[in-house]
Structure 1
Amino acid sequence: MKLFLSTVLAVGLIGVAGAEDKKDPTAGKWVVESVTRDGKVMDAYKGGVRVHDAGKYTFTLPAESKLPSSSGTYTVDATKTPATFEVVAKGGTYDGKTLPGIVKVEGDTMTVAFVEPGKDRPTKFESAAGSGVVLAVYKKAK
């Protein structure tokens, strides 16, 4: 479960989009502002850093966190509304499995909603109790 959230958060941190990057609005470096799973806030992820670059991601948690960092690959389809993404984790519980989600980037804020492998992709940026959806909000790193 903890590895799943780390992986998912890594997906959420998919990166910041520069005006010059129309295909991957998530490219760049993002810092976790908040994470909610099944309607519950997960403070252990706050301050984590996600970097998206050329289809690869890394997610590093704050030093005081006891949760594992993660890495893997991702794809974004910015032609859909909302934009969709898939993250494939490297290692851990979800090694080689796809985590589906949606993502939006507005200014310096990136919002991601995703679920475990095999579940239907979220359609809204919310994480209600019992939904299995993880909602992560990131700010572009300065």
Structure 2
Amino acid sequence: MIAALLAVLLIGAGEDEASLPDDLARHQGTWAVERSIRNGEDGPPEAIREIIRVVEGDRIVWKRSGKPFAATRFELDPKAEPKAIDLIPEGGPNRGNRVLGIYSFEDGRLILCTSDPGRPRPTAFEAGPGSARTLMTFRKLAPEGPDAPRGP
């Protein structure tokens, strides 16, 4: 009986420890913004479609029209409910200040909800009027370049 209980506890611990590398791997790659809502207002579609998020390791480079305009490091807590992400800007007025957020992967998309710096972490995927939150939906782009997978 004790051996069975220990086995369940050890298996559970292994799953929790494995979730960080799994979620980190899922964040990797190039993501296009599909929708952005800030304080209850949709971002302008013409501006949104020009923004991509390129993730390598624990670093995100944000690009507009192919040119970098911001970079952040990030830390994940996939065991939190909802899953938590901390973004740490590498430059600008919020350099080094944590932007607290939550994330989810649904139907091949990444959903990210963040609060303004200094505000509490969101508890739901909402960015209503006056919330000081941004809700973004991303879709992963196919890899490009010589190392990208090729069709038959």
TM range (shorter): 0.7 to 0.9
CA drift of 1:23 comes to 3.7
SS at match of 2:27: coil
Unaligned regions of 5+ residues in structure 1, if any? 1-20
Bigger mean CA deviation after superposition, 126-135 or 24-33: 24-33
Percent of residue pairs identical = 24
Which residue number corresponds to residue 52 of structure 2? 49
Which residue number corresponds to residue 60 of structure 1? 63
Alignment of 1:84-103 (within 5 A): 84-103=84-103
**Relative contact order (C-alpha < 8 Å, sep 6+): which is higher?**
1
SS at match of 1:96: coil
1:68-97 deviation line (CA, Å, top 9, x unaligned): 721021111111221100011011111111
Q: Compute the TM-score of the two structures, normalised by the length of structure 2.
A: 0.72
Q: Which amino acid aligns with 1:134?
A: T
CA drift of 1:45 comes to 2.5
Q: Alpha carbon RMSD of aligned pairs, Å?
A: 1.8
Between the aligned partners of 2:65 and 2:48, the Cα distance in structure 1 is 8
In our comparison, the structure showing a higher alpha carbon Rg is: 2
Which residue number corresponds to residue 135 of structure 2? 135
CA contact (8 A) 1:86 1:100 kept: yes
SS at match of 1:22: helix
Alignment of 1:1-142 (within 5 A): 21-24=21-24, 25-43=26-44, 44-62=47-65, 69-142=69-142
Q: How many residues align?
A: 119
CA drift of 1:37 comes to 0.3
1:34-77 deviation line (CA, Å, top 9, x unaligned): 111000011223341101221111010136x9xx7210211111
Unaligned regions of 5+ residues in structure 2, if any? 1-20, 143-152
Between the aligned partners of 1:104 and 1:123, the Cα distance in structure 2 is 12
Deviating 4+ runs (over 4 angstroms): none
Between the aligned partners of 1:53 and 1:77, the Cα distance in structure 2 is 18
Q: Which amino acid aligns with 1:111?
A: I
Between the aligned partners of 1:77 and 1:27, the Cα distance in structure 2 is 16
Higher helix share: 2
CA contact (8 A) 1:99 1:116 kept: yes
CA drift of 1:141 comes to 0.6
